[in-house]
Structure 1
Amino acid sequence: MSYIAEIPYVGWVIPFLVVLGVVVFVHEYGHYIVGRWVGIRAEVFSIGFGPELLAWRDKRGMRWRVGALPLGGYVKFAGDMNAASAGVDREALARMSAEERKGAFHTAAIWRRALTVLAGPVANFILSILVFAFFAMLAGREVNEPVIGSIRADANPELGLMAGDRVIAIDGNYVESFSDILVELAALEGQRATALVDRGAGEEEIEIFYLRPARVDEVVPGGAAADAGLQPDDVVTAVDGEPTPSFDSLRARIAASGGAMLSLDVTRGDEKLVLSMTPEMVEMPGPDGAIERRPMIGVRNMSFGGIEPIVETANPFDALTYGAARTWAIIAGTMDYLGDMITGAADSSQLGGPIQIAKVSGQAAEQGLESLAMMIALISTSIGLINLFPIPVLDGGHLVFYALEAVRGKPLRARWQEIGNGVGFGMIMLLMVFATYNDLLR
């Protein structure tokens, strides 16, 4: 067995299948269950395409199957010409009895078809919300009050602030939330200043010296740091032998590398490590708006110099609200990126395909169950959003056809639908080829 673990990329396969399997199943189950609720009969539920690896038929006569190619899935409803519900099988409809035709997809009322189609992306969004909500209830969520919840051991010894401090002002500027504290401290990083705090015995003025250590709070899956084995909670003490007393100094050393290989001295608990990595050159907008290439290793520091807010276990309502906010943030971020990519303000080479998803899934699995679950939530939201794009073949394209049908009082001519579906399929295939090409370049 030991030689299997040494085969390159084998650690990506199972996490990839788990992530994509869960996301695809939830998406297709949304179509299936809502279709059933509104009286549309499903004939085939498939996870994956191609030759069958496993199949069985339930008491309703629907065939459940697992295909050999795990890059999607489909629900084939009664009367569908194909798995994408992109046409009417008129011969099949002709063979149906009047009762059977009532359960066919293409003879159903527009609102029934629209709800069935919309249910897939909505199911993906619900999955994402529930994942984020579950971990908010399990691990808690941050409270945005101007109170120091805790101080990490790696915080600057001269910080001055203590756990339990209610911060009133920093450098003369009054604060009303934990976010305000972070903003004020970030502006004073590396400088000595004063803060007005309440420690239970009235207001007092203290001296503070804020400095973020070069601590890794998050490793971006698929980045140079992840490939080199850098892990959350690692502290980078030097780059190429030059000390990095703060995260800003680490960032400066990476920026000065020009993309050349770097040697990082890393402290991991009581262990001392030396890791080598080559930063990835990423196109980003500069201060003047022009696109410039910057070396990045893919790490984030979010511990704010060891200062942590109060963390409270979320009740179900607050957790769901938090989950919805996180899901919306992914949607908004994706739309911003796509908009920037179209206008040339973002690097399209960062767009990933199935190979990149597999790689990132494997790295997320290595970081633990929570990281893998967050990956599922991210991919689920992305799949739901993409399927709502108004491109024929996708769910959004179907909804556009139904909207036109509602306005015209009759469906578009079959020929026009075929042309639209062909164009849409071509667009999706071109996008897949481009994304896979980016994967191979990486």
Structure 2
Amino acid sequence: MSNVQIGIQIILMFFLLVTLHEWGHFYFAKRAGILVREFAIGFGPKLFSYKKGETTYTLRLLPIGGYVRMAGEDPEIVQVSAGQTIGIRLKNDRITHLYLDQLDQRSQSIQGEVEAIDLERELFVRMIVDGESVRFPVEPHAYMVARGKETQIAPWDRQFGSKTVAQRAMSIAAGPVMNFLLAFLLFLIVMVMNGMPTNVKLGKVEADSPAYTAGLKEGDIVLEVNHTAIGSDSGKLSELIQASKDQPMMWIIERNKEQMQKTLTPKQMEDKVRVGITLTYDKRSVAVGEAISGAWDQMVFVTQNILVGFKQLLFGQFKMDDLGGPVRIVEVSGQFASAGLAPMISWSALLSLYLGIFNLLPFPALDGSRLVFLAVEAVRGRPIDPNRESIVHFIGFAMLMLLMIAVTYNDILRLIQG
């Protein structure tokens, strides 16, 4: 497979994982009636954007994640205060645009000094026009225009903070949930592609190895070893080999539908006891129930291993080389892409599951932390001060970026040093 094909697969994989995660946030936010200002893939400078409806869809330079920007979470609206001169545009006697600068170029607008303004609840502007105080109603979808940029106002009922705890929690949790669903679907696809193992079969047999000397050949099916049925359990076969160093083993194999008995003696080869074979499987197609059960079992197994990794990270049972950033992920993804479609899909499933679990950790700036704040709000009956919560998330985000820089530097250093 060419490097171009591998690169395309990796890009598509990251795009799928991040886009589906953010789509979960986006979809349930829209269902709750929240104004979603931006759906972004990546961070940093904007490479491409287009607007559809109320939302701007952007692709940004740094492919290390994405975000959904909801009204009420960012100070995107420029504040207008009493005494400020502004211009307004009307349609059917209601304000559709509020102009905050370059008023000399707004010849078609009504201009005046603001006396009072409420763009969240009552939706009105009272201003002095030609010496007279006039009150104008504001359209819920009106725009504020400043520095050449139009920003849709967000009435209180369109803001994130106005929704129930359950609606906000669903909007946040939906991102990781989408990753879990994607992981299950990908594991299911791999189960269907690979089939169900029926018997352990020999792959490559190394020259001059105990297996070669005993007459084993590639394609032989292993039925029994030391009177123990093997079936599809390659782990059991490996255990028997490891426990039989320098001891003769009796193997019953099947070759061309004929059973044969072979005797071989495992030897210490490099770092472990070996007989000089690689293992593969005889397979059959899977039934629907088997595929679903197998995909679920694989999800549980991978989840357990991911949680063990997080536990080691939490208690300091790791080395810096055990951590990997974007560079290492791309490197490993390239190896899986080179191995074939099924390994790449399986790796994508693992990353999707990892992304979902990681985002549910109760660390500031992650979805899990935001869910913790909502749980506290549900218990105490009132929200935590938004400014304090924002500070916590900002600190957490800064810490994550520092960790990302550190592991990326380590990855690059490791590549340079070979």
Q: Tell me if TM exceeds 0.5.
A: yes
String of CA shifts for 1:122-157, please: whole Å, max 9, x gaps.
1112212211210210221324xxx55x33352724
Aligned residues: 336
**Out of 298, 320, 323, which is 1:351 matched to?**
323
| Percent of matched pairs sharing the same residue | 27
**Out of 375, 386, 407, which is 1:414 matched to?**
386
Query: How far is the alpha carbon of 1:18 from its aligned partner?
Result: 2.7
The answer to whether the aligner puts 1:29 opposite 2:23 as a matched pair is yes
Query: How far is the alpha carbon of 1:318 from its aligned partner?
Result: 2.4
Cα distance change of structure 1 residues 82 and 50 upon mapping to structure 2, 3 Å threshold: farther
**Out of 284, 291, 294, which is 1:319 matched to?**
291
1:79 and 1:92 in contact (8 A); partners too = no
Query: How far is the alpha carbon of 1:195 from its aligned partner?
Result: 5.0
1:160 and 1:208 in contact (8 A); partners too = no
Write the distance in 2 (CA, Å) between the matches of 1:319 and 1:384: 22
Cα distance change of structure 1 residues 115 and 69 upon mapping to structure 2, 3 Å threshold: same
Write the distance in 2 (CA, Å) between the matches of 1:365 and 1:153: 22
Query: How far is the alpha carbon of 1:12 from its aligned partner?
Result: 7.7
Aligned-residue Cα RMSD (Å) equals 3.8
Query: How far is the alpha carbon of 1:173 from its aligned partner?
Result: 5.5
Cα distance change of structure 1 residues 177 and 152 upon mapping to structure 2, 3 Å threshold: closer
The answer to whether the aligner puts 1:68 opposite 2:58 as a matched pair is no
Q: What is the aligned partner in structure 1 of residue 83 from structure 2?
A: none
Q: What is the aligned partner in structure 2 of residue 388 from structure 1?
A: 360
Q: What is the aligned partner in structure 2 of residue 184 from structure 1?
A: 240
Query: How far is the alpha carbon of 1:411 from its aligned partner?
Result: 0.3
Cα distance change of structure 1 residues 189 and 49 upon mapping to structure 2, 3 Å threshold: same
1:93 and 1:101 in contact (8 A); partners too = yes
Q: What is the aligned partner in structure 1 of residue 300 from structure 2?
A: 328
TM-score when scaled to structure 2? 0.68
Counterparts of residues 12-161 of structure 1 (less than 5 Å) = 14-58=8-52, 60-81=53-74, 93=120, 97=140, 101-143=156-198, 147-148=199-200, 150-152=201-203, 154=205, 156-157=211-212, 158=214
String of CA shifts for 1:346-401, please: whole Å, max 9, x gaps.
22322111222222233333333333333322222222111111012210011000
Write the distance in 2 (CA, Å) between the matches of 1:24 and 1:93: 32
- Unaligned runs of 5+ residues in structure 2 are 77-117, 124-138, 142-153
Write the distance in 2 (CA, Å) between the matches of 1:318 and 1:40: 41
SS in 2 for 1:152: strand
1:353 and 1:436 in contact (8 A); partners too = yes
Cα distance change of structure 1 residues 184 and 18 upon mapping to structure 2, 3 Å threshold: same
Query: How far is the alpha carbon of 1:46 from its aligned partner?
Result: 1.2
- Which structure is higher in RCO with an 8 Å CA cutoff and minimum separation 6? 1
1:364 and 1:375 in contact (8 A); partners too = yes
Write the distance in 1 (CA, Å) between the matches of 2:5 and 2:261: 51
Q: Give the partner amino acid of 1:66.
A: L
- Unaligned runs of 5+ residues in structure 1 are 84-90, 212-245, 253-300
Cα distance change of structure 1 residues 349 and 307 upon mapping to structure 2, 3 Å threshold: closer
SS in 2 for 1:52: strand
Q: What is the aligned partner in structure 1 of residue 395 from structure 2?
A: 423
SS in 1 for 2:269: helix
